[in-house]
Structure formats: C-alpha cells, structure tokens
Structure 1
C-alpha cells in the first residue's frame, strides 16, 4: 500500500512539474516573461 501511495505522490508531483512547465511555455509564447523556470 505504501508503494502505491508513494508512486501516486511521485506521479502527482511529476504532473505538477509538467503542468508548470506548460504554463511557463504558454506564458512565454503569449509574451509574458516575468515567469522564470523553477526546478
């Protein structure tokens, strides 16, 4: 059970990082440059 929870947490974190990257890309495409890469 703990491994499933850990995998789910890691997947959720990875998904958040992916969505954050997408938002940064869309922001740069729209001309907004105040958002920097945070990794």
Structure 2
C-alpha cells in the first residue's frame, strides 16, 4: 500500500517531452568514460 503525500513528486514519470530524439539528447544525463577521469 502506498502513502500519498500531497505536494510530493508525481506518481507517474512524465515522458511526453522525450518522444523526439532532439528532446532526449537535450535532457540526457552526461556520459562519463574512463578518458574523462584524472589520476590523483
């Protein structure tokens, strides 16, 4: 059973803005590779 707290994040993730590839690339998280790391 879930508890609904008013004012919290929506229960559903809204994905309408990510239907086009341009929008997906715009909001995509950064991709980190080994070449991006710096040795201490």
TM range (shorter): under 0.3
Larger Rg: 2
Task: Pick 1 or 2: higher relative contact order, CA cutoff 8 A, min separation 6.
Answer: 1
TM-score, normalised relative to structure 1 = 0.26
TM-score, normalised relative to structure 2 = 0.26
Higher helix share goes to which structure? 1
